[in-house]
A and B are shown apart, each in its own frame.
Chain A
Amino acid sequence: MNSLSFFRLTQFFLIGLTLAVLPLAPVNFIPRTFPSPDFLFCFIVAWHLRDPQSSPLPLILFLTLLVDIVQFRPIGLWPIFMILLSNLITINRRLFFNGQFLKELLFFSTIFFCGLMFELFFLTITFSPNNGFGVAAQQVIITSFAYPVVVLILYFLLRLRYKTSRFFFSESL
């Protein structure tokens, strides 16, 4: 791994860790009318789509497992979903190389919705407390609005672009 890749890897890890820990800051305890966007999920998907080499699955699993633990979510549920998502992105990356952001946004909204439904389904069938479809749908809409902002920040501030890599993408797929 060259120094640039290592630098990108470190960037990914540090920013991901910050996004995982920052929501814990005791700033405002008044219940919010709407759920806040899931910036960590936006960040992971946006980065993994553009540069999967510097966002390896073990790091993604570590970050999502950490969030599961500190935010009292079911432990291991979102890492399972991230494994599926990572493989889906690896297979379908060619769809995003022509730079159609609307397609990417639609993809993101769909997978986030699937992730929340996956969690909701699991909690429902195991008779665990959950907040229902309405709140999950709000979360999807709000996070979908946040995704373009995250992509813009990654594009302009971190100069993150789509990368083709023969190790992670094959035309034969």
Chain B
Amino acid sequence: MAPKTNSLGWATVKFVLLVLTSIIMIICVVLWRVDNQRIERLRMDIIDSTVPNFSFLLKPISNLGKVITDFKAYNRVYKQNQELKSELQKMEGWREVALQLDQDNAKLRALSNLKLNPNLVFLTGEVLADVGGPFSQSALINVGLLDGIKEGAAVLDGLGLVGRIATIGKDTSRIIYVTDSNFSIPVTILPIRAKAIMKGNNSLYPELTFFDSEEDIQPGYRIVTSGTDGIFVPDLLVGSVIKSKNGFLIKLAADFANIEFLRVLRPPKSKNLKKDVDLLKKE
């Protein structure tokens, strides 16, 4: 009799624990939806403390990926090297012209005394992890609140816009890429200065939507951020226009094949958005 009673007691305890766990998980899900900011801050705190500790596991994999990428790049470089050798012979004549231009350039730089826009201060971070799943394009970078960056800051590689800071922790932040389907920003098409919206579609070629006239836009036109959202600094290079069957797509300037170090810009001082509703308020 005793063993049956014991197993019944244990089964009851297990059932109660199961119900309690289910209730806790349901509460977590509801809280995630209702009080999203607090839960996201808690999530970033957990990620801050756990993900960097897994670098011993992630580094070998990323290094192996780099070896494979480098091997492919080596093949490409070898072919390019052969082509460049033949072109080099033609370039000898331009050498003298280049030397003269270099001297003129040095004089002009000294004369201009260039002062950078304070809004364009940036800091560089290293990509720690790819936290996007099959349905999202995002990554974790090793800069956070303690480094002085804020949510919504633009993220670039050396060439163009890569994404923006979506969630921020003390030491790490999550970047959502321009290729993510939930990423949309207002852009300007140069040289016609037409306004449009760039919308990610989980591919390397985001869509260009909400433009006035299709006839004015030509393939090859540059796309830059317009700054009308008050979040991004204007005139950050996004890419160039390409034509597709159903309209226009954007060929991104950023090199998504080689993302390792990224620049994070500080957002402009004109608007400090605390809530989404602030965008609608008149100044």
Which residues on A are within 8 Å of B, measured CB to CB?
18, 21-33, 35-36, 38, 57, 61, 69-77, 79-80, 83, 122, 126, 128-131, 135, 139
Contact = CB atoms under 8 A, between A and B. Distances in A.
Interface stretch (B84-92, B126-134, B234-242): B126-134
Interface stretch (B19-27, B100-108, B187-195, B218-226): B19-27
Contacts of B120: none
A24 B259 CA distance: 14
Contacts, number: 129
Given A25-B65, A31-B202, A76 B130 contact: no
Contacts of A31: 137, 177, 179, 202-204, 256
Interface string B46-83: 11001100100110011011000000000000000000
Nearest to A142: B134
Contacts of A33: 203
10 contacts: A21-B58, A25-B62, A26-B128, A35-B135, A72-B133, A74-B32, A79-B21, A80-B29, A122-B29, A135-B202
A38 B202 CA distance: 18
A22 B54 CA distance: 9
Query: Interface extent on B, as a size class?
Result: 35 or more
B72 to A, nearest CB: 12
Contacts of A122: 29
B271 interface: no
What DSSP secondary structure best describes chain A's contact surface? Answer: loop
Contacts of B57: 18, 21-22, 25
Given A27-B64, A30-B204, A35-B134, 8 more contacts: A25-B57, A25-B65, A30-B257, A72-B131, A76-B28, A80-B22, A130-B135, A135-B202
A24 B129 contact: yes
B130 A25 contact: yes
B198 interface: no
Nearest to A57: B18
A88 B76 CA distance: 53
Nearest to B29: A76
Contacts of B140: 24
